[in-house]
Amino acid sequence: MIKILSKFLLLFILLGNLLALNTIASDAKGVIEEKNFAELAKKMKQQNKGLMLLLHTEGCSFCAALEKNYLYPSVISGEYDKQIFIRKLQIDSGVPIIDFSGKKIDPEVISDRYDGRLTPTLLFLDYKGNEAALKLIGYNTPSLFGGYVEAQLKEMRQYILKNSK
């Protein structure tokens, strides 16, 4: 009887731990698929932040790798929370979005605007939607990618500070 009770108790504890881990995982923030850039622009202006925006397409393995290996960990760590917003936009979704001026447009228009047809493309924008640093196209050297991003973020911060006065 005691063996059965101890096995039942152990099983109960393991299930409880699994449920707790599942809750933690489901509460974790991910990279937000942006739908309304006008609303985001208001927050960017109020908080004097830039935007790092991933332009991606469905089925793009390099886009998925960039998000999984770099963007998602950056969001989870909160390392950039005081400096930038990190978002993504699926440019081939066909689902209309609101651009920085408040107009309803197709996501492809955004990719055309920034010459971002090749994916992944990582944009660095100010609250007006202007490029505040050179975009990064592709994701072929993961071990060096963080350095490339840091250089662009530094350039973007300087641009935003200069243009916020």
DSSP reduced 3-state for 29: coil
Instruction: Give the dihedral of Cα atoms 43, 98, 57, 130; nearest 10 deg.
Output: -60
What are the E-state strand segments in the chain? 32-33, 50-56, 84-90, 97-98, 104-105, 121-125, 131-137
Between residues 69 and 11, which one has the greater pLDDT?
69
Residue 28 token pair: 């974790």
Please, what is the end-to-end C-alpha distance for the chain in angstroms?
76
Instruction: Determine the Cα–Cα distance for residues 136 and 23; give it in Å rounded to an integer.
Output: 35
pLDDT in tens, 117-150: 899 999 999 999 999 999 999 998 889 999 999 9
